[in-house]
Structure 1
Amino acid sequence: MTVFNKIIPVILAGGFGTRLQSVLKEVPKPMADVAGKPFLEWILRFLKQNGFSQSILSTGYLSHVIESYFGGEPIEGFDVRCVEEKEPLGTAGGFLNCIKKSNLEANAWLVCNGDSMTLANLAPFLELANANNFTAAVFGVEQDDASRYGTLKLNNQNRLEAFLEKRPGRGLINSGIYLFSDHIVRQFSDKMPLSFEMDVFPMLLMQEIPVHVFRAEAPFIDIGIPETLQASGDFIKANKHHFYEHDNNTSTLTN
């Protein structure tokens, strides 16, 4: 198993989960019970199977629930640090708050949403960070029905050109997984709140900084609405080899 010592994952787990509050009550969305464990724990177990030994969690709404659970070290050999977002900072703002307060150093940062999951072998995506002049990359997933998600517009070199509005039909969606060099992160705006989709990526494109789009066909789910939350248990059970046994390549990947 490859170990990525110089890439640190940051999970964005601070959202309010407004569309699920009637279902979850006093539980933050990433802590929704899925197949007997919090959805967030499945994400971290997946990262461990992909070679990581630590992660930072950006928490916000009901942060104490997340901190209390992972303070019990439920994943052996995997270090979890929680950094609370005292006020809403946006997706990129929460990420910057995390890396500043964690005092950890990395050559690159892997950013993942705490309410969605793409079950692909991450190694080829992470290898992009080793390229000369690497700045940023987005993990795109092909979906037969992209109507609930923004899709990605790329050029013929697999470089990001724009985030497109939701549209019906098949499309390459933004999976919510990003990879950034530490150098480019230090150039992010310090204005808050700060969004990856609305602020960071438009800034990179405006400055003609290349953003690579990595394309994959792989199992994907989000728990943003009650219907997909309900389906997530079967999704986890059908893909347990991604969480407990290392599988070298169970998806079709291209870049």
Structure 2
Amino acid sequence: MKAVVLCGGKGTRLGLTDRPKAMVPVAGRPLLERLVEDVRDAGFTDIVLLTGHLAEVIEAHFGDGSAFGVRIEHVREAEPLGTAGAVRDARHLLTGPFLVLYGDTLLDVDLARMAAFHAEHGGLGTLFVHPNDHPHDSDLLVADTDHRIRRFLPKPHPDGAMLPNLVSAALYVLDPAAIDAVPADGASDWGRDIFPAIVAAGERLNAYRSVEYVKDIGTPARLAKGEADLASGRVARLSHRHAKPALFLDRDGVLNVEINGVHRAQDLHLMPDAGDAVRMANAAGVPVICVTNQPDIAKGFLTEETLGEVMAALDTGLAASGAYLDDTFVCPHHPERGWPGEVAALKIDCDCRKPKPGLLLAAADRHHLDLSRSWLIGDRHADIAAAHAAGARAVLLETGHAGNDAGNRRADPDHVAATLTDAVAFVLKALAE
């Protein structure tokens, strides 16, 4: 598989005059050099550099790539063609699925794993997706439980809209057939023009959700943040190469007010300290993952689509405080029958319904988590039991159900806290020790 790197940017906001944006120094080394080595270390040694502004600087630095242990081909655009137009003009070099990286991103991603995910799920492309702390001014997308992207939601967004916090990180695996959707002439952009058209045409694009580090460094502030994250070890720590601790959060009674089932987005109300508490964990670089039983899906009280709307309301509420969930794992099952309108296929004794550990185990598999160093915060003994069964530790909150499910009590929690803020502070201190 070849890797294509878009390197045509000028770097005007970075104040660059003698080099293109992709050659900006990051902690003393050109960013593009870091990207080339990232690609090589993932096992991809055929690289196509799509250049434009000051292309000669890149060509002189990398040559044919032999000095870096790779084979590099250069394709120079005569005029700005946009991210998709530039790839279109290199199509003669792209005969199989290929990676697309943007030359202004700092990343540490298991690219081989992402490529394998694309091979498993098929379609015209796979997009690396994650939440951010400013979804209100970001282009967003909606993906289903089969990882298929269903809609793109371009900015600006309507006031008061409840939107899922999921954005494309400008890292793709594409099939050559995706280039067929690119106009034959002129400039066009993958995110703005081509991907929405592909989905509208009924073709499959996949969402590859990961906690790994992918950030653009196109402004002085973002560049400084990226360098700080490199120096602190945050970039490498979040990589799929390394097992990492996570903070698991139950939903009802922990993040939002417990009302015995939230069946409509407008009925979800955040706990007063939820945004600030989650933001604390985000700032510490600890993945925050919601694990929630939602048996009302099996009972027929809401659909998975409606649950998506409820979760979008949760995302929107957290985003108001600059906070986000890195991922969410849901059990839709219920073992007992007898509800009118119930979904028979979901009426099973599953492995994911807490107090069983299935949700935590699935999250650990997806994100390479070290469960022995991870914590769960919940308001029921079922949460505590699920954490312990997975090998994690747990905090019982005195909110929501406040541990009133004595029948699920298997062992005492590792800590008891009055509020989510207190619980998160306790966990972060424990992780730092």
| TM-based fold match above 0.5 | yes
Summarize the Cα distance change of 1:105–1:13 in structure 2 as closer, same or farther, 3 Å threshold: closer
The aligned counterpart of 2:45 is 53
Distance 1:200 1:153 in 2: 16
> What SS class does the counterpart of residue 185 from structure 1 fall into?
helix
Contact 1:57 1:81 in 2 (8 A): yes
Amino acid at match of 1:63: A
1:214 equivalent to 2:221? Answer no
Structure 2 counterpart of 1:164? 154
> Once the two structures are superposed, what CA deviation does each residue of 1:213-243 show, in whole Å capped at 9, x if it has no partner?
110111232111111112333333445996x
Partner AA of 1:176 in structure 2: A
| Structure 2 spans left out of the alignment, 5+ residues | 158-162, 245-363, 368-433
1:239 and 1:70, CA in 2 relative to 1: closer, same or farther beyond 3 A?
farther
- Contact residue 145 and residue 170 of structure 1 kept, 8 A: no
Gaps of 5+ in 1: 1-6
Q: TM-score, normalised by structure 2?
A: 0.50
Instruction: After TM superposition, give the deviation of residue 166 of structure 1 in Å.
Output: 6.5
Q: Is the 8 A contact 2:45 2:69 kept in 1?
A: yes
Where does residue 4 of structure 1 map in the other structure?
A: none
> Does 135-144 or 204-213 show the bigger shift?
135-144
Of residues 215, 220, 230, the one that matches 1:226 is 220
Deviations 1:91-145 (A, max 9, x none): 1001111233xxx343201111110133221233201342475321111023344
Structure 1 227/97 Cα, relative in aligned 2: closer, same or farther at 3 Å?
Answer: same
Q: Kindly provide the CA deviation profile for residues 4-29 of structure 1, in whole angstroms up to 9, marking residues without a partner as x.
A: xxx21111110222322xx3222211
Q: Residues 238, 250 of structure 1: CA spacing in aligned structure 2 closer, same or farther, 3 A cutoff?
A: farther
* 1:74 to partner: Cα distance: 7.5
Aligned residue type for 1:77: G
For CA contacts below 8 A with separation 6 or more, give which structure has more relative contact order.
1
| Structure number with higher strand proportion | 1
Helix, strand or coil for the counterpart of 1:217? Answer: coil
1:248 aligns with 2:238: no
Q: CA deviation at 1:65?
A: 0.9
**1:79 matched residue in structure 2:** 71
> The residue matched to 1:15 in structure 2 has which SS?
coil
Task: Give the counterpart of 1:194 among 174, 188, 191.
Answer: 188
The residue type equivalent to 1:108 in the other structure is P
Q: 1:122 to 1:133 in 2, by over 3 A?
A: closer
AA at the equivalent of 1:193: A
- Give the Cα separation in 1 of the matches to 2:215 and 2:62: 23
Write the mapping of 1:105-116 to structure 2, written as runs, cut at 5 A: 105-116=94-105
8 Å contact kept, 2:129–2:207: yes
Work out the number of aligned pairs and report it.
241
Q: Which amino acid aligns with 1:165?
A: K
